[in-house]
Structure 1
Amino acid sequence: MQADEPLFLFYTSFFGKPVNIAAIPHCALPVRWSVDRRRLSEATAVLFHLPDFREIRDARKYPGQYWVGWSMESRENYPLMADAGFMRNFDITMTHESGSDVWRPYLPSSKWWEAAQSGPRLPKTESAPAVHFQSAAVDRSGRVAFAAELARHIGVDAYGRHNPTRTIEGPDLGRQTKIETIARYRFCLALENSISPDYVTEKIYDPLIAGTVPIYLGAPNVDEFVPANSYINASAFSSPADLASYLHHLIGTPQAYEAYFAWRANPLPECLARRIQGLNASAECRLVALVHQRMRERQSPLSARPSLPFGRVAFLRTKLRRLRKALG
C-alpha cells in the first residue's frame, strides 16, 4: 500500500452495477480509486455497499486496511445495518445517518437551495390537486395504503411503475420530466418507503424545487432537513380523510396555501445552513480526509497476516456464489 497516494477500492457493486468511479469529484488530498477486487491486498480503504451484503463475505482484510460500510438506505429495509455483530467488521461508516463517521445525507447543496428559492413557480394546470410518484414496491411505512385512502377523498394522479393512474405524455427525460410534472400540481405526496430517523430522501426535495407543496410521510426529524412551514406533515393528521379535508381548505384559501412558499423569500434556518455548508465537500472526499487523518494518528502495530472477518464458511459460500454467477 502506498501511504502517499492511498488506494480506495470499491469491493462490492452498487445494487448489482459497478460503481462509477469516473463520477467521483476531485479531492484535494491524494487518492486512487478502483473497482478491481484483485487489488484488495493493495488497498488502504475498502468500501462495501451494505445493501449488496451478499458480495461482502469473501473479502480478506489485510494489515492496515480501513473497511468502510456505506449505504444510503434505511435500516428498516436492511436490518443487517442494525446488527452490531455485522457492523463491527467496519472501521468507518458512511451513511445518511447523522451519527456516521462520514455523513452522506440526501440533503442538497447550497446551490440547489439557491435555485429552489429563486426558481419560477409554474401554474397549477392539472385538475387533480395532488400527484404521487412511486416505482418500487417496497413499503415499510404504510405509504401504499395511505396513498390509496387519501385518493378516496381528494384527487391524486399516480405516476411510476407502481399502480399508476397516469403516464408521462411525450418524451420522458427522467428527473427533469418528473420535476416538470410535479410543478403542475398543488401538492405532491412525498412518502418514504420506510420511517427512520435521518432517512429524508429526494422525495421531499423534488416538490420543493418544483414549486409544489410536499405532503410528507417519513422521518420523525424531517424538520432538521427542510425549512419550517415548507411542507405538510401527514403524521400530524388523524387520518388521510382528515388530511384531505385540510387540503381542500388550502385549495379554497389561497392565502393559506401561499404561506407554504414563504420560506423561499427568507434565509435558510441557521442550523440547516450549517448542515449544508458542512457538506460542501463530497462524501468521498470527506472519507479520504478521514482516512488520511487516521493513518497519521495510528499508533497500534499492524497485524502480520490477512484475516477472514466473516469466517471461512461464509468465505467459501460467497466464493462459490460468485463462481456460479460467472458460469451463468
Structure 2
Amino acid sequence: MAGPLILFRTPYFRGPVPLAGVPDALRDHFTADQARLREADAVVFHIPDWRPTQLHDTPKYPGQLWVLWSMESSVNYPRMGDPAFLRHFDLFVTYERSADIWSSYLPPMAQWQTALQVPQPSKPEAAPLVLFQSALIDGCGRNAFSGALMRRIPVDSYGRVYRNRTLAEDLGRQSKLDTISRYHFCLSLENSLSPDYVTEKLFDPLLVGTVPVYRGAPNAAEFAPEHSYIDAEAYSGPKGLADYLRHLLQSPAEYAAYFAWRQRPLPDWIEEKLRASATSCWLRLLERVDTARTGRRSGRPALPFGFRAALSARTTRLLRRLGGRQSPPVQFQ
C-alpha cells in the first residue's frame, strides 16, 4: 500500500469508528489494528474515549503525528482546553473553525437543496413547540431553561427529559424528523454555549420546515440563513421568549417570514462552508498526513505522558485484565 497509514487508537464512544465518506479503495490507509502502531504515520485519539489508564503508556514513534479528534463541545471535555494536554498533539480534527481539519455538523448540500424544493408542511399539533432531548449532559442550564419555558407555554417533549408524549411508531431518525415538521417551533438546546458548536439541534428543524428556537453557539448566525431561527437568549429569559412565540402564533405574516429564506438561493457564504465540509474529514486528514510525511526516522519512541504515567496505566490495565474486564477493541463501521 502506497501512501500514509492512519491508526485509530481509541473507539468511538466505545463503538465502531465511523469512516463516512471514505471510499473502499482508500480504506486500507486506515486501521484499527493496534499491532501496527509502530508503522502508523498518524495516530488518532477520540478525546471523549480518552482513558489515562489505557492511553498514557502509548509510545509516540519518531516522525509520527498524533491527532486529537472530537465533535463534542470543549466545555464538556476540559482536556480540550488544557494546554499541557494539547501540546502532545500535532493535528486537530474538531467542530471548531480554527481546527487543522474542520469537521462540521452542517448537512450536505443535497439536503439543503431538497429543503428549498419541498412544500411547507402543515402544523396540526395543538402544542406550538416540540422538544427531543434525552442526553443528560447539561453544561449550560438547558434543562432548567426548558423546564421554565414549559411552565409558560405548551411543549410536547418526546425525549427522556421532561417526557410528556411518546411516538406512536418509532422508526428511528425519520420518525423524529417527521414529528418535528408537524410543529410550529422546535426547542433546540445545545448542551453547551460554545462558539462553532452548532449541531443537528439547529439543522434538523430548519430543513424539515419548522422554526428552531435555538439556544447554543453564540455565533450560530454564521451557520444558518438570516432570520431562519429564533435566538432563545434574545428575549430576557423563558417568560419573554414564551410571550414572543405566542405573538408569532397570532401574527401569521411574521411567523411566515422565518421561512422566506426557503424562497431564495442559499447565501454564498453558506455554500462556501458546505463546499469546505463536503469532503470527508478523514480524506482531508489523509491528504494532510501525506503532505507532512518526510519519511519515518529511526530512533526510540517517546512516552509523552512520562514514565510514571505509563507505568501506572500498564499496572491498572493488568489488574483489570486479571479481573476479567477488557477494553472494547477498535473497529470501523
Residue number in structure 1 paired with 2:23: 26
2:42 matches 1:45: yes
Partner of 1:266: 264
CA distances 1:201-247 after superposition (whole Å, capped 9, x unpaired): 00001101221000000101001111110000011111211111111
AA of the residue aligned to 2:223: F
Q: Which residue of 2 aligns with 1:283?
A: 281
Question: CA distance change for structure 1 residues 30 and 244 in 2, over 3 Å: closer, same or farther?
Answer: closer
1:200 match: secondary structure: coil
Alpha-carbon distance in 1 for matches of 2:61, 2:118: 50
Answer whether contact 2:4 2:289 (CA < 8 A) is retained.
no
Q: 1:311 aligns with which of 296, 306, 309?
A: 306
Deviation at 1:312, TM superposition (A): 1.8
Q: TM-score, normalised by structure 1?
A: 0.93
Count, aligned residues:
321
Cross-structure match for 1:226: 224
Residue 140 of structure 1 corresponds to which residue in structure 2?
Answer: 139
| C-alpha distance 195-59 of structure 1, shift in aligned 2 (>3 A) | same
Q: Deviations for 1:52-79, whole angstroms, at most 9, x for unmatched residues?
A: 1214322111111111000001110001
**What amino acid sits opposite 2:6 in the alignment?**
F
CA contact (8 A) 1:27 1:285 kept: no
Structure 1 residues 40 and 142, CA, compared in 2 at 3 Å: closer, same or farther?
same
Where do 5+ consecutive residues of structure 2 fail to align? 326-333
Q: Does 1:245 align with 2:240?
A: no
Unaligned runs of 5+ in 1: none
Separation in 2, partners of 1:321, 1:101: 34
Counterpart of 1:115 in structure 2 is 114
Q: What is the CA distance between 1:321 and its match in structure 2? A: 3.9
Tell me the secondary structure at the aligned position of residue 6 of structure 2. strand
- The code of the aligned residue for 2:151 comes to R
TM-score by structure 2 length? Answer: 0.92
1:205 aligns with 2:203: yes
In 1, distance between residues paired with 2:315 and 2:205?
45
| SS across alignment from 1:41 | coil
Which residue of 2 is the match for residue 153 of structure 1?
152
CA distance in 1: counterparts of 2:117 and 2:312, whole angstroms: 54
Is residue 29–residue 289 contact of structure 1 (8 Å, CA) maintained in 2? no
Deviations 1:12-31 (A, max 9, x none): 0111123244x452288795
Question: Offset of 1:95 from its aligned partner?
Answer: 0.1
Q: CA distance change for structure 1 residues 154 and 82 in 2, over 3 Å: closer, same or farther?
A: same
Trace 1:164-203 onto structure 2 (pairs within 5 A).
Answer: 164-170=163-169, 172-203=170-201
